[in-house]
Amino acid sequence: MRPAESVSWRRFAALPLGAASALAFAPFEYFPVLWLTLGGLYALLGPAADGGLVRQGAITAGLFGLGGFLAGVSWIFVSLSTFGGMPAPGAAFATFVFCAGMALYPALAGALFARLAPPAGARRALVFAALWTLAEWLRGWFLTGFPWLAVGYSQTPPSPLAGFAPIAGVYGVSFLTVLTGAFLAEAAFGGCRRNRLPMAAVPAVLLLAGVALSGHGWTTPQGETLRVALLQGNIAQDMKWRPEELEESLLAYYYLMRDNPARLTVLPEAALPMFLSDVPAEYLGAMGQLAARQDGDLIFGVVTGDWSRYANSAVSLGASGTQRYDKSHLVPFGEFTPPGFAWFMEMVNIPMSSFTPGEEKQTPFSAGGQKIAVNICYEDAFGAEIVRALPEATLLLNLSNMAWFGDSLAPAQHLQIARMRALETGRMMLRATNTGMTAIIGADGAIRAALPPFTRAALTGEVTAHAGSTPFARWGNTPAVAASLLPLLAFARRRKTPS
């Protein structure tokens, strides 16, 4: 095969290989798929690394990333078109542009791999895992960050690699996931036959170590169990903000709370579709009385402030008094307009898209006799921010409105992200959502209970507070970043062959 034909074939193969990677994430959760697809990408990048072909490495890895994002975050189209009011062609183009932008991160990793990779073997596999992980970490904070589909999220239980999450977090799990795929590729396609068995042994050791770590309790339960009720109102997004539907929304949550008494009751993000100052006082009084039946508390999502300055907030009522949390990590385009994109916002219909962010560090709520770290929607995608409330907080609570994404992959993927946060922190995670996935997640990342999506119901259950700190809660992403930098410092060498 001539070189040009080889390059063309590899570029063609990378795109569907990346698209297949979406099967590793929720709702499919075929977690070994990523070991194979990333191993396949590693093999496809081999000739580029051997020849120092930076451009070929960037295109191959970029197409892999493009396929993965187009398949995995197709829900962006749903949000823009179905609920944002953007014409379908424009929404499709915007989704493609966004996915292409996200694909620049794996493209960067592929380019650097082609430039810096040592000869085939363990060192090359380590450099590949390191570069991929650093690119994901960069994507997780640059320009406010978009950590969705970091490969570590695919390895929630029952994946053996989930055992490493309390130590090194999602990016540490990403590193080990990529490393597993790279070593499998070395075992399958490596040039030296006598090295194939040792290469295959490395993934086996990693998986066994993960299983052993999964049995370790990094935090300890404390106190009595707490009865909770998580209310899922199932208010359609296109009806939510209509004035004529307001009474139904308010009554839906009142009746759900009345019929499901608990010491801690939680309503989802923006459950009351108005400013807090506009909520009828008698309604708040009635909800407060329901909370007081159990000497308990109510936490609900609502917009606070006025049209000159407003925040996406969680507010509490009940035995512990009134408290407030303002969302600090806002969603670009959904909650604030990035500079230079006012023209884009004119094309979509998103109510209240100029929120004011809250403080980065806010005091956990005292409710139901516990300290609760509240976060709203997209915020739980940022593990290093969630741990700011630890070790003081004994429970994690996420309020979300996933109605923006309809019956797409987004709700299940968001639930999987929340499971990773529970693993990282050693805390139970409660999720109250408008349309799904409302769930109670154990400190081990397992789903203890969940409501079917698009149903109006209350999820009730007993939860346990946890004390103590995991290694990730103490050190955040530092171990994962350091582990990724070390192979580069130890093994990387500059290529002399021009690209």
The candidate with the shortest Cα–Cα distance to 178, out of 385, 384, 21, 316, is 21
* CA gap 476, 460 in Å, rounded: 32
* CA gap 133, 131 in Å, rounded: 5
The Cβ-side half-sphere exposure at 348, using a 13 Å CA radius, reads 26
**Which residues are catalytically annotated?**
269, 327, 377
| pLDDT at site 334 | 76
Angle (CA) 311 341 238, round 5°: 55
* CA gap 122, 461 in Å, rounded: 48
* CA gap 270, 327 in Å, rounded: 12
Which parts of 219-328 fold into alpha helices (H)? 237-240, 246-259, 281-292
| pLDDT at site 344 | 65
* CA gap 223, 467 in Å, rounded: 10
CB-CB contact of 285 with 250 (8 Å): no
Whats the size of the chain, residue-wise? 499
Question: What is the chain's Cα-based Rg?
Answer: 24
H or E stretch including 186? helix 165-189
CA pseudo-torsion sign 206, 212, 215, 218: negative
* CA gap 182, 34 in Å, rounded: 11
* CA gap 440, 451 in Å, rounded: 9
* CA gap 92, 90 in Å, rounded: 5
pLDDT in tens, 332-376: 887 887 776 766 656 666 666 789 999 999 999 999 999 999 999
Whether the link from the prior residue into 437 is cis, omega within 30° of 0, is yes
Domain boundaries, the chain: 3-216+477-491, 220-469
H or E stretch including 280? none
Which parts of 190-341 fold into alpha helices (H)? 196-214, 237-240, 246-259, 281-292
Q: Which CATH number fits domain 220-469: 3.30.43.10, 3.40.50.300, 3.60.110.10, 3.30.470.10?
A: 3.60.110.10
Is 95 buried (19+), middle (13-18) or exposed (0-12) by CB count in 10 A? buried
Contacting residues for 89 by C-beta, under 8 A, at least 6 apart: none
| pLDDT at site 493 | 53
What Å distances lie between residue 164 and 157, 325, 415, 429, CA to CA? 11, 31, 19, 18
Alpha-carbon dihedral 204, 207, 213, 214, rounded to 10 degrees: -140
| pLDDT at site 12 | 83
| pLDDT at site 363 | 96
Beta-bridge partners for 227: 462
Residue given tokens 């308010």 in the structure block: 250
The Cβ-side half-sphere exposure at 497, using a 13 Å CA radius, reads 14
Note down pLDDT in tens along the chain; length 499 residues.
444 445 567 678 999 999 999 999 999 999 999 999 999 999 999 999 888 899 999 999 999 999 999 999 999 999 888 877 889 999 999 999 999 999 999 999 999 999 999 888 899 999 999 999 999 999 999 999 999 999 999 999 999 999 999 999 999 999 999 999 999 999 998 766 777 888 999 999 999 999 999 989 899 999 899 999 999 999 987 677 788 888 889 999 999 999 999 999 999 999 999 999 999 999 999 999 999 888 999 999 999 999 999 999 999 999 999 999 999 999 888 788 777 676 665 666 666 678 999 999 999 999 999 999 999 999 999 999 999 999 999 999 999 999 889 899 999 999 999 999 999 999 999 999 999 899 999 999 999 999 999 999 999 999 999 999 999 999 999 999 999 999 998 875 544 444 4
The Cβ-side half-sphere exposure at 265, using a 13 Å CA radius, reads 30
Structure tokens at 64: 């892999």
CB-CB contact of 255 with 458 (8 Å): no
